[in-house]
């Protein structure tokens, strides 16, 4: 039984279609030169400027893409334009307890590892931050022991439901056995989940789940998510970014 810690991978994020954005036909007014910023930030700016056709950047104080995004989102509070840019993250080394908290945010989209199909007999465990005490602390040992016993019970139930040793006959399909046996697995079992959201949704989730009263594992993982999202939109998620 292996202990793992969270990792967050940036799978995908908004990309600008440069071919169309470079087109300047006789009736095309929806073009503007690129400012300093990422594709996601540029799209956010473009959406805002489309409302007023201010593609020519008339205000010197917001002529730069990042200045425009900063002023529009954090100073004026017009977050709807941040809903056009998206990012997809892949979370591994997180617990079932973590995902139970995360999926409460219904404005994100999820695809999670299935315990009905995936064999959990050699599952990893994720210790909550409070149990990551000095090596072999009593609390950690107790948690490990409980997880080990649960995995043993899981193995026994799956084997028993798939094949009846007494009569020597097959019973349930392995998928059906696993869906029943998973009932004994603890919240510390590792899971993996793909999550997609627009930048407004991600900002709101990270802001709320980084608060001091949030779940400790959630705070830890959201810090990792924020670091990954800072590569997509540093104006929103980077170091020194304002809080709405």
3-state secondary structure of 183: helix
Bridge partners, residue 194, by sequence: 90, 111
Cα–Cα distance measured from residue 136 to residue 128, given in angstroms and rounded to the nearest whole number: 14
Residues in CB range of 68: below 8 A, 6 or more apart: 35, 45, 48, 49, 62
Residue tagged active-site, from 96, 178, 182, 209: 209
- Residue 113 C-beta-side C-alpha neighbours within 13 Å: 19
Q: Are 229 and 202 in contact (CB under 8 A)?
A: yes
Is position 209 annotated as part of the catalytic site?
yes
DSSP 242: P
Cα–Cα distance measured from residue 74 to residue 61, given in angstroms and rounded to the nearest whole number: 15
Encoded tokens for 244:
């709405």
Cα–Cα distance measured from residue 124 to residue 98, given in angstroms and rounded to the nearest whole number: 14
The residue among 230, 131, 134, 233 whose CA lies nearest residue 187 is: 131
* Active site amino acids: 209
């Amino acid at each position: 039984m292996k202990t793992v810690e969270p990792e967050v991978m940036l799978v995908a994020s908004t990309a600008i279609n440069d071919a169309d954005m470079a087109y300047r036909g006789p009736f095309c007014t929806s073009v503007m030169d690129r400012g300093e910023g990422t594709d996601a930030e540029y799209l956010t700016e473009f959406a805002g400027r489309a409302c007023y056709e201010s593609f020519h950047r008339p205000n010197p104080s917001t002529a730069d893409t990042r200045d425009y995004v900063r002023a529009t989102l954090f100073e004026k509070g017009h977050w709807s334009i941040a809903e056009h840019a998206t990012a997809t993250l892949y979370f591994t080394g997180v617990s079932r307890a973590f995902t139970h908290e995360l999926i409460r945010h219904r404005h994100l989209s999820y695809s999670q590892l299935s315990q009905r199909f995936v064999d959990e007999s050699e599952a990893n465990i994720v210790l909550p931050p409070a149990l990551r005490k000095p090596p072999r602390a009593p609390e950690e040992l107790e948690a490990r022991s409980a997880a080990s016993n649960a995995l043993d019970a899981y193995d026994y139930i799956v084997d028993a439901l798939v094949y009846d040793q007494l009569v020597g006959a097959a019973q349930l399909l392995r998928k059906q056995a696993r869906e029943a046996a998973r009932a004994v697995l603890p919240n510390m079992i590792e899971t993996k989940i793909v999550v997609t959201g627009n930048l407004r949704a991600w900002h709101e989730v990270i802001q709320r789940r980084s608060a001091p009263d949030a779940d400790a594992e959630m705070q830890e993982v959201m810090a990792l998510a924020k670091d990954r999202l800072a590569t997509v939109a540093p104006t929103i998620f980077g170091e020194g970014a304002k809080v709405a």
